[in-house]
Amino acid sequence: MPRRPFGRLAATLLAAAALLTAGAAGTAAPPSPLPPSGLDRHRIAAERFGNDARWYEDRIPFLETADPKIDAVYYYRWALYRAHQRDLGEEGYISTEFLDDVPWQREPYASLNDATGFHLGEGRWLRDRRPADDYVNFMYRGGNDRHFTDHMADSVWGRFLVDGDREAALRHLPVMRHIYRLWDEKFDFAKGLYFVEPLLDATEYTVSSIDASGGKDGFRGGDSFRPSINSYMAANARALARLAEMAGDAAMARDHAARAEALRARLLADLWSERLTHFIDRYQVDNEHVKYWAPIRNRELVGYLPWMFDLVPDDARYAAAWTHLLSPASLAGKAGMRTVEAGYEHYMRQYRYLGDAPECQWNGPVWPYQTTQVLHAMANLLDHYRERGPVTRSDYMRLLRQYTALHYQGDRLDLEEDYHPETGRPIVGLDRSHHYFHSGYVDLILTGPVGIRPRADDVLEVNPLLPPEGDPQALDWFRVENVPYHGHLIAIRWDSDGTRYRRGKGLAIEVDGREVARRETLGRLTVDLPRAAPPEPARPINRAVQLVRGRFPIGSASSGTEAENLHDAIDGRLWFFPELPNGWSSAPSPAEQWYAIDFGKPIDMARAELAFFADAKRFAAPLDYRIEAWIDGRWQALARPQGRPLANGVTPVQWRPVKASRIRLAFRQPRGRAVRLVEFKVFGK
């Protein structure tokens, strides 16, 4: 997430310079009403999301650009975000990393803390603030088990920069501070740095873990002082200092600002390698293969993370590191960013398999996870550093498009875990790998090419990181609208020659439907924007979530009665991707079918949401259906809707409120087809 270079003085000076630049190049236009020529959000939602369009239409920012692949992946990433929202019932929503269960998740929720930064980075741009709000609440009410490293406190601050909600940002401050101090167990007080086993940094088979095994393995071991954990912890400390200052706790603010600055100083002094001109690991482990405090021998992509959090001085000495990212002999693969440079002895050696299928490694493969981080780092470099090494805006857009291409499997959109750096083909490709959510894209687009630079003050700043017109990586036009920012809805428009939108050439900002600033060329624009209170999210509670198999609520059915099949219709997960089945599947039969939920006690029932999957092959939506409740010892109809329910979308059903302990969906299915009930949600009044 974009920020200013570290330190209050540097931030103040650069912000002042930015405002002076904007004053010289941009003009604040008097508010003016717009002609009705914005994006047709209803049409776009229908084209991109089909029958599920209703969920997106009033929730997401809508985008169009001169690059149709960027557009397609942008909307796919919102579908990915929606698919990973798991409904926990009374505990609200969380974002998952894998669509389905994996053995190392936190039970019974399927949560993992390592991807929280990406989840909140994407979710902060959603008009519906509930998913991100619920997720933060869950993590700070016991959900963050510190299984992996994370930068969640920094992500809470990053969310505040967009929504401006002070109360939400400060709600868990004491717990955030407590979790930060729990990481002391991974702090070397003599060196003033944090260390971690690469596996618990969510990056197994790194240079440090492989070399610590003598080249024999690398899944476990290799504890090291890494640029990642130290960048995360410096950013978390800085965020806690800023939140504490906002809360009026001067002592906590001073303490965590000092911690952040001390950690930053040690990172710069000890993890920068003059020999490699790169930030690198130093070993914390000491064995027959490697020695404590010795540096690793090769460059890794993780060395760019300090720029993601603006920890690096604006100095040509450090900017030289970016040369390696653009070098085919080092970190630049033909299809993506290598996680370790090609000259490493064990580069792309496959150590680990699941059966005969390759498993995850970080000794060269391209990972969307770290690619996202480096693109954020590069955006910071281009936005507010003078010393940029060899990096240009054209390089940035080329690498962003390279990352965009990884989302495609032929003509099909399906982001997986890791990729071969030369071919761009998935390496792992397991069932769990489909539509993987340990990366970002929406946040990259809105803060990079579109150029929204979120701030804590009452200013909206926009600086699209696009190369000039005529560059092969340029975008001639774009428009994004319905973007929530500090309680307002904003739109950004770029039209290089004025012919796309016919409102004049250049860059323009709109706030709540009125144009407030414009300039004729690409560059920085700022506008004063007093914040408004963001809308409070609605929080209806789904009563039909079975978190623990075998406990209430319990599903039963007329067919397809395997325990896991029954569980999948009430597991709080909802997606329509065909690559990974989800939901209860009936048997194809001419007989009426049903799926029932037993709550174990009477509950209030007033409405339901039904989601069905269809694929034009085996599964189709029911021909007709009704909702029944067990009342007075028999099934009684609550609703008999007319027509068929939606396929690959959500059908709402309402009835007069009743109190009952069981509910049932009964239906007829098309001849020769089965029905897959993706999710059956039940709500009270």
> To 5 degrees, how large is the angle CA 119–CA 123–CA 125?
140
CATH 1.50.10.10: which residues of the chain? 8-447
Overall size of the chain counted in residues: 685
CA distances (Å), 621 to each of 478, 579, 624, 677, in order?
Answer: 38, 18, 9, 9
Mean pLDDT of all residues in 594-615: 98
DSSP tag of 304: G
Rounded to two decimals, the pTM is 0.94
Angstrom distance (rounded) from CA 457 to CA 480: 22
Residues 132 and 173: beta-carbon distance below 8 Å: no
Rounded to an integer, what distance in angstroms lies between the CA atom of residue 551 and that of residue 267? 49
Report the DSSP beta bridge partners of residue 495: 477, 506
pLDDT at residue number 36: 52
The single-letter DSSP state of residue 534 is P
- Phi, psi at residue 591, to the nearest 5°? -75, 150
Q: Give start and end residues of each alpha helix (H) in 560-659.
A: 563-567
pLDDT at 155 over 60: yes
Supply the pLDDT for residue 37. 59
Q: Which long-range contacts (CB under 8 A, 24 or more apart) does 280-284 make?
A: 280/227, 281/206, 281/207, 281/208, 281/224, 281/225, 281/226, 281/227, 282/224, 282/225, 283/208, 283/212, 283/222, 283/223, 283/224, 283/225, 284/188, 284/195, 284/223, 284/224, 284/225
CATH class of 8-447: mainly alpha
pLDDT of 196 strictly over 70:
yes
Predicted confidence (pLDDT) per residue in 260-308, tens digit: 999 999 999 999 999 999 999 999 999 999 999 999 999 999 999 999 9
Whether 18 shows a pLDDT value over 80: the answer reads no
- What six digits make up the tokens of 236? 């978390």
Pairing of strands 506-511, 62-65: unpaired
- What are the DSSP E strand ranges found in 209-340? 224-225, 272-273, 278-279, 282-283
CA distance 270 to 282: 8
Q: Measured on CA atoms in the order 204, 88, 101, 552, is the torsion positive or negative?
A: positive
Tell me what percent of the residues of the chain surpass a pLDDT of 90: 94
Question: DSSP character for 199?
Answer: G
- Domain at 554-683: CATH code: 2.60.120.260
- Residue 641: count of CB within 10 angstroms of its CB: 16
Q: Residue 676 in 3-state DSSP?
A: strand
Residue 10 confidence (pLDDT) = 36
**If pLDDT is split at 50, 70 and 90, which confidence band does 9 have?**
very low
**b/e map of 35-68 (b: 16 or more CB within 10 Å)?**
eeebbebeebbbebbebbbbbbeebbbbbbbebe
Tokens at 525, concatenated: 């624009």
Handedness of CA 98, 104, 105, 107 (dihedral sign): positive
- Pairing assessment for the beta strands 676-683 and 593-613 based on DSSP bridges: antiparallel
> Which residue matches tokens 């999710």?
679
pLDDT of residue 3: 45
3-state helix, strand, coil in the chain (%, to 5): 35, 20, 45
Q: What is the mean pLDDT of residues 243-260?
A: 98
List the single range of 33-42, 103-112, 504-513 with lowest mean pLDDT: 33-42
What is the distance between the alpha carbons of residues 383 and 451, in angstroms, rounded to a whole number? Answer: 9
Sign of CA dihedral 554, 557, 562, 564: negative
Query: Where does CATH 2.60.120.260 sit in the chain?
Result: 554-683
Enumerate the H helices of 113-226 as residue ranges: 116-123, 130-138, 152-163, 166-170, 173-182, 207-212
Residue 150 has pLDDT above 60, yes or no: yes
User: The tokens 């701030």 sit on which residue?
Assistant: 455
Is the pLDDT at 6 greater than 90? The verdict is no
The model's pLDDT over 408-422, given as tens digits with 9 standing for 90+, comes to 999 999 999 999 999
Contact indicator for 76, 407 with CB cutoff of 8 Å: yes
Are 221 and 285 contacting, i.e. CB atoms less than 8 angstroms apart?
yes
pLDDT, the chain, mean: 94
First to last CA, the chain: 39
User: What's the CA gap between 219 and 213, in Å, rounded?
Assistant: 9
Six token digits for residue 339: 């996680």
Burial class (CB in 10 A: 0-12, 13-18, 19+), 262: middle
Beta bridge partners of 649: 612
Rounded Cα gap, residues 137 and 133, in angstroms: 6
- What value does the mean pLDDT take over residues 429-438? 96
Question: Once rounded to an integer, what is the mean pLDDT over residues 183-187?
Answer: 98
| Residue 679 contacts residue 570 (beta carbons within 8 Å) | yes
